[in-house]
């Protein structure tokens, strides 16, 4: 964005004002453009769910369906156990989120506040595991799940998603940043036990970070693909992600039905994000805890 | 209420010793202030009393109970931190009632005691607010309220006023003193501000590098500092020091400074000091204009009138001298004054050990 340099000389402040306004517009325009680029495919997907097969393949593509139809939706719901898959995913993601929140909060707190040399080493190991892709140890883990007889079950799915290195890291940083030692010491003198301190002082102070982590953890599990693909292989134990993928190859190539299924799948994700948006933004954009 | 007995207490972090055998006896109901320069171990000592740091060696008794291995919550103490350490997610009432809630007191009793403390501290209107909705001074009061409601044996304060502005600090100083006069709870108070120490304390502990340099009443420390460090630390502006030797002129003991200023000495100094190197100390406020033959010829370089008093800095034979004159003498930079310290306010310290000798 450039400012016309040949404009007549004006008083300094109004020139500066105009310059700032132009910059603001430029930033707004830029952000809007990107926002549209991000949202357009999703809107298109939702629109497609209501189109007839003919309209879906017509060129140029239409944005608002000409004769909207619910056929796709009903067909998807009748032909496949879509709701069951969604339930599987939902249960998997929820339990995984709870487990990750619990493990991250405890480990992050201990690593952030307790000063033993061995803890530094543990923290380094955790950081190290964070850079090893899940796919690397997915197969050994698979055999463990198999030997435990947990294939095709929710518990088998969960085993790969109980702990999240990044979550431990995130909470540790937040603990260091927003839980002052004096607060814990004051509580100890006030007579609080360590569990009390954790639940009634530390956890409330970490709520925005935990909120952010909850969103991350939930979507990590919700969108997981490789692990559910190998662990849950019966039609009833599919997660929605696996179910949708098999749509294209196994059941049908119907673009309308795929769009309809995907649109349904979007609903919980969007709902959760809207509910937790505030936490998410605060927790990720540096903890908002100044006090 | 209880006494606190600190017996030869030591503290090491790994191989680094930070407190080297401190012994202090705090009587029941006393207000004792720990002062000393930054890093001398005041907080560490206080935190050992609170139970937040382990005691490496020695013993601490509260009342007649050795508390070395007692958990903080069972020591029956309350501590106020420099940055207040209020629980940000609790209201003022919840903050103040937290310890009572943990002690499983009934709701009515908690309410009553919180209300009482709030009334004493003027916080009644703020009970439902959160800490971040209060000013610094109010937060400080909440922190004190949290300590008061428990009615503990001992109050511990770690520089509680250092985050406040100068005016509020003076006001809170008075309030704290007043509070102590009413509650009479044994108090140990850490500060590095010697004026705070002088004005608030029943007794002062002056610390340096993990040892106690002197323990006594404020005026005792001011009138008879045990060593050069305490002499320089207590009092503002600081004491003047001159290096020199004791010489005998016409049968009288005199002090000859390294720059050959000769000054009279109080009588009765041990003859063993004649010819020995000493440090002479005298406070700026004890300088007087004099017509005697042996005096400081001070050439004034800086004058700071405050209205009530006149501060000045000058040079006498190469020694820098700070002075305070009560009378409103019209002095100007460049002027020369004939000054003498009051004889009974001269402090002499051994040049090597820096211990008091007179
Ligand atoms: N956790 C620790 N590990 C190692 N050394 C420490 C630790 N805590 C304090 N020290 C050292 O102990 C000494 C005393 O510290 P302390 O905090 O008691 O000083 P202080 O007198 O309170 O100073 P200030 O007026 O700056 O608060 C310092 O030299 C400090 O470096
Ligand atoms: Mg300190």
More confident residue, A261 or A290: A261
- Protein residue whose Cα sits closest to atom 3 of ligand 1: B13
Residue of B72, B85, B99 lying closest to A183 (CB–CB): B85
3-state helix, strand, coil split of chain B in percent (to 5) is 30, 35, 35
What is the per-residue pLDDT for A11? 55
Task: Choose one of B233, B267, B297: the last residue of a domain.
Answer: B233
What is the per-residue pLDDT for B250? 85
B191 domain residue, yes or no: yes
Chain B CB within 8 Å of residue A291 CB: yes
Q: Is the pLDDT of residue B332 over 50?
A: yes
Provide the total of helices (H) and of strands (E) in chain B, helices listed first: 8, 20
B114 and B182 assigned to the same domain: yes
Structural domains in chain B (count): 2
What is the per-residue pLDDT for A252? 54
Q: Which residues of A118-144 are buried (b: 16+ CB within 10 A; e: fewer)?
A: eeeeebeebeeeeeeeeeeeeeebbee
B218 and B247 assigned to the same domain: no
Contact A190 B132 (CB under 8 A): no
B197 and B288 assigned to the same domain: no
More confident residue, A290 or B335: B335
Q: Is the pLDDT of residue A291 over 60?
A: no
Q: Which residues of B107-140 are buried (b: 16+ CB within 10 A; e: fewer)?
A: eeebeebbbebbebbebeebbeebbeebeebbbb
Q: Is the pLDDT of residue B274 over 50?
A: yes
What is the per-residue pLDDT for A1? 41
Looking at residues A10-34, what average pLDDT do you find? 85
More confident residue, B67 or A115: B67
More confident residue, B319 or A249: B319
Domain that holds residue B311: 240-350
Q: Is the pLDDT of residue A256 over 70?
A: yes
What is the per-residue pLDDT for A241? 87
More confident residue, A176 or A135: A176
B248 and B229 assigned to the same domain: no
Residue contacts between A and B (CB atoms, under 8 Å): 58
B218 and B254 assigned to the same domain: no
How far is it, in rounded angstroms, from Cα A188 to Cα B72? 7
Name the pLDDT band for A187 (thresholds 50, 70, 90): very high
Contacts of B292 (CB under 8 A, 6+ apart): B264, B340
User: What's the gap in Å between B35 CA and the centre of ligand 2?
Assistant: 10
CATH of the domain at B327: 2.40.50.140
Q: Is A290 exposed, middle or buried (0-12, 13-18, 19+ CB in 10 A)?
A: exposed
B223 and B128 assigned to the same domain: yes
B356 domain residue, yes or no: no
How far is it, in rounded angstroms, from Cα A186 to Cα A205? 15
Cβ-contact B290, B342 below 8 angstroms: no
How many other CB atoms are found less than 10 A from the CB of residue A285?
Answer: 10
Looking at residues B80-99, what average pLDDT do you find? 93
Pair type for strands B77-80 and B154-158 = parallel
Looking at residues A64-81, what average pLDDT do you find? 85
B145 domain residue, yes or no: yes
DSSP state at residue A60: S
Q: Is A208 exposed, middle or buried (0-12, 13-18, 19+ CB in 10 A)?
A: buried
CATH of the domain at B111: 3.40.50.300
ipTM of the assembly?
Answer: 0.83
- Of A78-87, A215-224, A271-280, B275-284, where does mean pLDDT reach its minimum? A271-280
Percent of chain B with pLDDT over 70: 100
Residue B42 CB less than 6 A away from ligand 1 = yes
Residue of A183, A190, A289 lying closest to B102 (CB–CB): A190
B333 domain residue, yes or no: yes
- Nearest alpha-carbon partner for A106 in A163, A53, A34: A163
B293 phi, psi to nearest 5 deg = -70, -40
Q: Is the pLDDT of residue A43 over 50?
A: yes
3-state helix, strand, coil split of chain A in percent (to 5) is 75, 0, 25
Cβ-contact B131, B123 below 8 angstroms: no
B358 domain residue, yes or no: no
Pocket test for ligand 1, best of B37, B41, B233 (most atoms within 8 A of CB): B41
Name the pLDDT band for A287 (thresholds 50, 70, 90): very low
Q: Is the pLDDT of residue A5 over 50?
A: no
Give the model confidence (pLDDT) of A135-150 as tens digits: 888 899 999 999 999 8
What is the per-residue pLDDT for A280? 63
How far is it, in rounded angstroms, from Cα A243 to Cα B246? 100
Contact B79 A189 (CB under 8 A): yes
Task: Choose one of B198, B233, B268: the last residue of a domain.
Answer: B233
Looking at residues A65-70, what average pLDDT do you find? 85
What is the per-residue pLDDT for B139? 92
Task: Choose one of B216, B233, B250: the last residue of a domain.
Answer: B233
- Placement of tokens 């055999």 in the chain: A143
What is the per-residue pLDDT for A279? 65
Cβ-contact B290, B340 below 8 angstroms: yes
How far is it, in rounded angstroms, from Cα B5 to Cα B123? 34
Looking at residues B299-316, what average pLDDT do you find? 89
B202 and B249 assigned to the same domain: no
Q: Residue A201: its chain B contacts at CB < 8 A?
A: 87
- Of B12-21, B89-98, B269-278, where does mean pLDDT reach its minimum? B269-278
Looking at residues B125-138, what average pLDDT do you find? 92
Contacts of B9 (CB under 8 A, 6+ apart): B19, B21, B22, B23, B45, B48, B55, B57, B58, B59, B60
Contact B131 A291 (CB under 8 A): yes
More confident residue, A102 or A263: A102
Give the model confidence (pLDDT) of B132-180 as tens digits: 999 988 998 999 999 999 999 999 999 999 888 888 889 889 989 999 9
What's the full length of chain A, in residues?
A: 291
B196 and B328 assigned to the same domain: no
């Amino acid at each position: 964005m450039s400012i016309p340099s040949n404009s007549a000389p004006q008083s300094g402040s109004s020139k500066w004002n105009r310059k700032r306004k132009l910059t603001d517009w430029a930033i707004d325009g830029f952000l809007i453009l990107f926002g549209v680029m991000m949202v357009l495919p999703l809107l298109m997907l939702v629109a497609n769910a209501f189109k007839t097969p003919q309209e879906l393949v017509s060129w140029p593509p239409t944005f608002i369906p000409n004769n909207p139809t619910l056929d796709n939706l009903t067909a998807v719901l009748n032909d496949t156990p879509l709701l069951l898959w969604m339930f599987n995913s939902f249960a998997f993601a929820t339990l995984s989120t709870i487990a990750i929140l619990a493990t991250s909060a405890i480990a992050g707190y201990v690593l952030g506040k307790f000063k033993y040399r061995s803890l530094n080493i543990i923290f380094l190991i955790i950081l190290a595991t964070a850079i090893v892709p899940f796919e690397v140890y997915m197969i050994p883990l698979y055999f463990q799940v198999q030997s435990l007889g947990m294939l095709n079950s929710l518990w088998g799915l969960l085993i790969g998603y109980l702990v999240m290195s990044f979550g431990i890291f995130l909470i540790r940083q937040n603990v260091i940043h927003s839980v002052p030692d004096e607060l814990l010491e004051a509580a100890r003198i006030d007579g609080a036990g360590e569990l009390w301190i954790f639940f009634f002082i530390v956890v409330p102070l970490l709520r925005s970070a935990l909120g952010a982590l909850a969103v991350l953890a939930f979507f990590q599990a919700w969108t997981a693909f490789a692990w559910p693909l190998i662990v849950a292989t019966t039609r009833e134990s599919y997660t929605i992600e696996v179910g949708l993928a098999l749509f294209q190859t196994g059941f049908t190539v119907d673009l309308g039905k795929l769009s309809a299924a995907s649109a349904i799948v979007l609903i919980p994700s969007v709902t959760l994000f809207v509910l937790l948006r505030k936490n998410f933004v605060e927790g990720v954009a540096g903890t908002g805890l100044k006090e | 209420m209880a006494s606190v007995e600190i017996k030869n207490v030591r503290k090491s972090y790994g191989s680094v010793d930070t407190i080297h055998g401190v012994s202090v006896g705090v009587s029941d109901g006393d207000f004792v202030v720990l002062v000393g320069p930054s890093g001398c171990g005041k907080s560490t000592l206080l935190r050992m009393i609170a139970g937040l740091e382990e005691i490496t060696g020695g013993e601490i008794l509260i009342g007649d109970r050795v508390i070395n291995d007692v958990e903080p919550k069972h020591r029956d103490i309350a501590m106020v931190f420099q940055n207040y350490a209020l629980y940000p997610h609790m209201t003022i009432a919840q903050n103040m009632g937290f310890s009572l809630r943990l002690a499983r007191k009934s709701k009515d009793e908690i309410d009553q005691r919180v209300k009482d403390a709030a009334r004493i501290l003027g916080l009644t209107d703020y009970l439902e607010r959160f800490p971040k909705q209060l000013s610094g001074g109010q937060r400080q009061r909440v922190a004190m309220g949290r300590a008061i409601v428990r009615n503990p044996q001992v109050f511990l304060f770690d520089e509680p006023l250092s985050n406040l502005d100068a005016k509020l600090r003076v006001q809170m100083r008075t309030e704290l003193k007043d509070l102590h006069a009413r509650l009479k709870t044994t108090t140990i108070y850490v500060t590095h501000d010697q004026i705070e120490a002088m004005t608030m304390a029943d007794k002062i502990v002056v610390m340096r590098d993990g040892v106690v340099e002197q323990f006594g009443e404020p005026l005792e420390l001011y009138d008879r500092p045990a060593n050069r460090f305490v002499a320089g630390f207590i009092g503002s502006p600081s004491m003047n020091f001159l290096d020199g030797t004791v010489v005998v002129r016409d049968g009288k003991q005199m002090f000859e400074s390294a720059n050959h200023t000769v000054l009279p000495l109080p009588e009765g100094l041990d003859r063993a000091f004649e010819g020995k190197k000493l440090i002479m100390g005298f406070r700026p406020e004890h300088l007087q204009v004099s017509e005697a033959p042996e005096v400081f010829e001070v050439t004034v370089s800086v004058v700071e009138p405050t209205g009530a008093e006149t501060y000045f800095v000058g040079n006498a034979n190469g020694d820098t001298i700070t002075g305070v004159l009560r009378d409103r003498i019209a002095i100007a930079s460049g002027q020369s004054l004939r000054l003498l310290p009051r004889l009974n306010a001269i402090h002499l310290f051994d040049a090597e050990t820096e211990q008091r000798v007179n």
